[in-house]
Amino acid sequence: MAGWWKCQIIGKDKIPLQFNKGDIVFVKGGEEFIILYDGKKRGRILKSAMKNIKLLSRLDQQEADSVERRYQVKYMPASSFAWDPSTIWD
């Protein structure tokens, strides 16, 4: 699963405690784990726990970019960002 998906949690088995059944979250797949993110908190589950998540829709590119930026600002260390001179305002 590449990119971000909008999903609903339909079961609690192997789902992080900060999320509840019925919650709508953004999900992004990785090699072994899946990242869950709702804009405020994140969690991680093994791919085998996907049976507890219902895929609702794949985010279009603009929405996915927005979620990815918010996720990176909140959870990625500042040192991992590349400096871009075009972001400086006069």
pLDDT in tens, 69-78: 999 988 877 6
List the chain domain ranges. Answer: 4-78
Look up residue 25 and give its DSSP letter. E
pLDDT in tens, 11-51: 988 888 899 999 999 999 888 899 999 999 999 999 888 89
**Fold (topology level) of 4-78:** SH3 type barrels. (2.30.30)
C-alpha 68, offset from chain centre? 7
Look up residue 13 and give its DSSP letter. T
Q: Is the pTM of this model over 0.85?
A: no
Cβ(69)–Cβ(22) below 8 Å: no
Q: Are strands 24-29 and 33-37 parallel, antiparallel or unpaired?
A: antiparallel
